[in-house]
Structure 1
Amino acid sequence: MRTTRAIHAVERLKTRSGNPQFAAIGLQNGLFYLVDRSGGSDAKVSDPLPLDDFVKFVDGFGPAKPRKASKLDVAFEAQIKKSGK
């Protein structure tokens, strides 16, 4: 159960970044760290962290999740920019 949260956080990162080479490594004492395997070797991206801190780190790492906006939202923002407010 504990590793599931860590794995899902890394899967979200993979989707956001477009890099499928990120992985979560779990240690016996309940700590996790993030590695990037895109260079052919395991490059540590984070220090070993407790689960909650690891999930927060991974969610904040890399590009932000794109914001969903409807056509009406986009048109409204364009109208606000035109009015100068």
Structure 2
Amino acid sequence: MASLRSTRASAAVMRLKDRSNNAPYSMVSTADGRFYLVLANASGDNEKLNEPLELDAFVAFVNGVSKQAPKKASKLDIAFEAKLRNKL
């Protein structure tokens, strides 16, 4: 079960790296199953960005660090939304 937890947390960190142009973020897992985020500095030190959090709180924190990628929408989705706005 611990591997599923760390997989979800590491996926959140990978999405953060994608949003931040591969900034050197990484996560640390504590012995009690909590996670915290670190950012590597130019001097090689790691800056701890939060206190250890439970999985759900950690994923929410990581998702809030950098702006989310815009949702993809097809031409049909955009046209449908425009029609809805014109009807109102």
Q: TM-score, normalised by structure 2?
A: 0.74
Q: Establish whether residue 10 from structure 1 lines up as the match of residue 39 from structure 2.
A: no
SS in 1 for 2:67: coil
Q: How does 1:71-82 map to 2 (within 5 A)?
A: 71=75, 73=78
Match of 1:58 among 59, 62, 81: 62
Q: Which runs of 5+ in 1 are unaligned?
A: none
Q: Which residue of 2 aligns with 1:31?
A: 34
**Which whole-Å deviations, capped at 9, do the CAs of 1:9-45 have from their partners, x for residues lacking one?**
1001000111341000000011110000143210011
Q: TM-score, normalised by structure 1?
A: 0.76
Q: How far off is 1:61 after superposition?
A: 1.4
Give 4+ residue runs of structure 1 displaced > 4 Å after superposition. Answer: none
Q: Which residue of 1 aligns with 2:72?
A: 68
Partner Cα separation in structure 1 for residue 27 and residue 46 of structure 2: 11
Partner Cα separation in structure 1 for residue 20 and residue 67 of structure 2: 6
The CA RMSD measured in Å over matched residues stands at 2.2
Partner Cα separation in structure 2 for residue 63 and residue 41 of structure 1: 25
- Percent of paired sites with the same residue: 43
Q: Which runs of 5+ in 2 are unaligned?
A: none
Provide the aligned length of Structure 1 versus Structure 2: 80
